């Protein structure tokens, strides 16, 4: 059972309590829900878990205060960490999945460091979903990207949110989030930014790491085979489109 509603948890406490009581009595099945950290409290998380919530998708998007303003996300890192403390109380009963947006052309290295540091501070249990920034039609971000020449009308929505670009910080995000590498190891890898060989290696490892993560999930029974095939299908199309565009640019260059 899934409740695909970003505002699901933002209801008044009394309304949410009534839902939890009725759901537990009349349905009693495990369910999955979406949530915004701004609207979460220990009380409503306790009620939902008691009612059967076993998984929650939490939209964090970034750990950078500057990018939080860009995304119009009025949530602080302290609040996100507090939410992870709410979830920690129910370890073994719920799996929170924290969403982060990568490949933002306006991010600086400092912004990316902020997100990486937040990922490392979020408490167990935790899983992460990483997405490439998508410029949806009619949004202020799409208009800004068009005005600044970051995207063209022809190229709008040509990328897929599941395909994360190869980059130094994206690889670190995956190692910290998906592979749960120890904080000390991540801190050492950060120093590779000043090492030409290390920087080159991490900058070209993101998509390999993502593929390994999906395959590892299949072996451990966490990901269905169909999910992996879906990813590789999307990835193959992405590689083909990227190669075709490059060839087209060269032919007209």
Find out whether 20 and 49 touch, Cβ atoms under 8 Å: no
d(CA 80, CA 60): 7
Q: What is the pTM of this model?
A: 0.87
Tens digit of pLDDT per residue, the chain (253 long)?
788 887 788 888 899 999 999 999 999 999 999 999 998 999 999 999 999 999 999 999 999 999 999 999 889 999 999 999 999 999 999 999 999 999 999 999 999 999 999 999 999 999 999 999 988 888 899 999 999 998 887 555 555 677 889 999 999 999 999 999 999 999 999 999 999 999 999 999 998 898 888 777 767 666 555 566 666 666 666 666 656 655 444 343 4
pLDDT tens digits, residue range 123-181?
999 999 999 998 888 889 999 999 999 888 755 555 567 788 999 999 999 999 999 99
Whether residue 94 lies inside any domain: the answer is: yes
Same domain, yes or no: 75 and 124 = yes
Look up the domain containing 224 and give its range: 166-253
Domain tally for the chain?
A: 2
Whether residue 155 lies inside any domain: the answer is: no
Same domain, yes or no: 118 and 173 = no
d(CA 99, CA 17): 26
Average pLDDT of the chain? 87
**Angle CA 131–197–112, to nearest 5:** 30
d(CA 66, CA 153): 27
Q: How high is the pLDDT of residue 250?
A: 39
Share of the chain above pLDDT 90, in %: 67
Q: How high is the pLDDT of residue 152?
A: 82
Q: How high is the pLDDT of residue 108?
A: 97
Q: What tokens were used for 143?
A: 């208009």
d(CA 250, CA 253): 5
Q: What CATH number is associated with residue 61? A: 3.80.30.20
Q: What tokens were used for 138?
A: 């009619």
Q: Strand, coil or helix: what is 189?
A: helix
Q: How high is the pLDDT of residue 224?
A: 57
Q: How high is the pLDDT of residue 68?
A: 96
Q: How high is the pLDDT of residue 10?
A: 83
Q: What tokens were used for 59?
A: 């939209």
Whether residue 152 lies inside any domain: the answer is: no
């Amino acid at each position: 059972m899934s409740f695909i509603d970003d505002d699901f948890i933002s209801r008044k406490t009394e309304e949410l309590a009534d839902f939890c009581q009725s759901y537990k009595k009349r349905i009693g099945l495990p369910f999955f829900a979406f949530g915004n950290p701004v609207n979460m409290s220990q009380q409503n998380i306790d009620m939902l878990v008691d009612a059967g919530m076993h998984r929650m998708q939490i939209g964090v998007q970034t750990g950078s205060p500057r990018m939080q303003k860009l995304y119009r996300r009025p949530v602080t890192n302290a609040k996100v960490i507090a939410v992870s403390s709410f979830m920690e109380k129910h370890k073994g009963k719920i799996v929170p999945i924290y969403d982060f947006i990568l490949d933002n052309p306006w991010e600086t290295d400092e912004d990316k460091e902020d997100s990486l540091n937040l990922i490392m501070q979020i408490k167990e249990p935790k899983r992460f979903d990483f997405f490439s920034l998508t410029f949806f039609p009619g949004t202020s971000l799409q208009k800004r990207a068009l005005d600044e020449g970051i995207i063209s009308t022809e190229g709008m929505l040509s990328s897929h949110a599941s395909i994360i670009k190869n980059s130094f910080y994206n690889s670190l995000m995956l190692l910290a989030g998906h592979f749960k590498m120890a904080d000390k190891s991540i801190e050492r890898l950060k120093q590779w930014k000043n090492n030409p060989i290390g920087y080159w290696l991490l900058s070209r490892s993101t998509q390999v790491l993502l593929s390994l993560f999906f395959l590892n999930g299949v072996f451990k029974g966490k990901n269905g085979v169909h999910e992996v095939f879906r990813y590789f299908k999307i990835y193959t199309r992405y590689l083909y489109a990227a190669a075709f565009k490059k060839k087209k640019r060269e032919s007209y260059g």
